[in-house]
Amino acid sequence: MSETHTNSLAERLVARFGDLLASVETSLGQTTIEVTADNLLKVATALRDEPDFDFSLLVDVCGVDYLGYGQNEWETTGASSTGFSRGVRGEASGRFDWEGRPRDVDLPRRFASVVHLLSISHNRRLRMRTYCEDDALPLVPSLTALWPVANWFEREAFDLFGIVYEGHPDLRRILSDYGFVGRPFRKDFPLIGNVEVRYDPDKQRVTYEPVTSVVPRVLVPRVIRHDADLEQARAEAADDWKEN
């Protein structure tokens, strides 16, 4: 998709929806709009039904947890006589609980629901993001009435992130079982899990117990790198994309 084509979509979105959109961004040929929960159904209906947009196909719905977003555990921008730091500070995903969560993240809201739309008639894609206003009870409207295929996608986001899709006809777990404790894709979910399952020969049934057989340890630190080689590779990739 050409840059001109994508910019045209962004301009049309701003002209059509105006203040209904919290933001419109275009990066690497992909247009992303941010819509509040109050305006989501109104905007989504227009995107599906109006001929200028005609986003008839919903490709995906997914949840996002921005807790700890943009943070790393290793010092990679400075060095001492002994080299780069290798000390793990324990601030990234899976290494803290909710009370001890990182608090210096600029993003004001933790959870978001992201929708990917496709217009076959215009050969055009669009990403639509809606932040959940309440971190304790993440809530956004369901899109199943507009795109029935959203049903299982929204159940997956509910199961893994705990995002509640208001108006969903059958919102229940779809990947984890009914006895599962917690939301496994949340950033503060323990890497070793909350419970483990084993067969108890005395009770002659499967039982759930607190995790005791696995000891939490740091294997791979989370690092946001700005190495010169990576920056050069990104620049070359951007030049190739513009040429093509």
Three-state DSSP at 12 gives: helix
- Binning pLDDT at 50, 70 and 90, where does residue 225 land? low
pLDDT digits over 85-135, tens only?
A: 555 555 544 555 555 655 555 677 899 999 999 999 999 999 999 999 999
Quote the pLDDT of residue 2.
Answer: 47
CA atoms within 13 A on the CB side of 34: 9
Handedness of CA 98, 129, 164, 42 (dihedral sign): positive
Give me the torsion for CA of 129, 132, 135, 136, rounded to 10°. Answer: -140
pTM of the predicted model as reported, rounded to 2 decimal places: 0.75
DSSP track, 131-172: E-S-SSS-EEE--TTT-TTHHHHHHHHHHHH--EEET-TT--
Region 218-229 average pLDDT: 62
204-211 long-range contacts (CB < 8 A, ≥24 apart) are: 208/179, 208/181
Mean pLDDT of the chain, nearest integer: 82
Region 64-73 average pLDDT: 77
Domain boundaries, the chain: 1-66+107-176, 72-106+190-244
Per cent of the chain over pLDDT 70 is 74
Which of 80, 126, 134, 129 is CA-nearest to residue 110?
A: 134
> Taking a C-beta distance cutoff of 8 angstroms, is the pair 143, 45 a contact?
no
pLDDT digits over 140-174, tens only?
A: 999 999 999 999 999 999 999 999 999 999 999 99
Quote the pLDDT of residue 1.
Answer: 46
CATH architecture for the domain at 1-66+107-176: 2-Layer Sandwich (3.30)
Region 72-96 average pLDDT: 54
Quote the pLDDT of residue 19.
Answer: 93
Q: Is 60 exposed, middle or buried (0-12, 13-18, 19+ CB in 10 A)?
A: middle
Structure tokens at 5: 């084509």
| Rounded distance between C-alpha atoms, residue 61 and residue 67, angstroms | 19
Higher pLDDT, 197 or 140: 140
Higher pLDDT, 95 or 207: 207
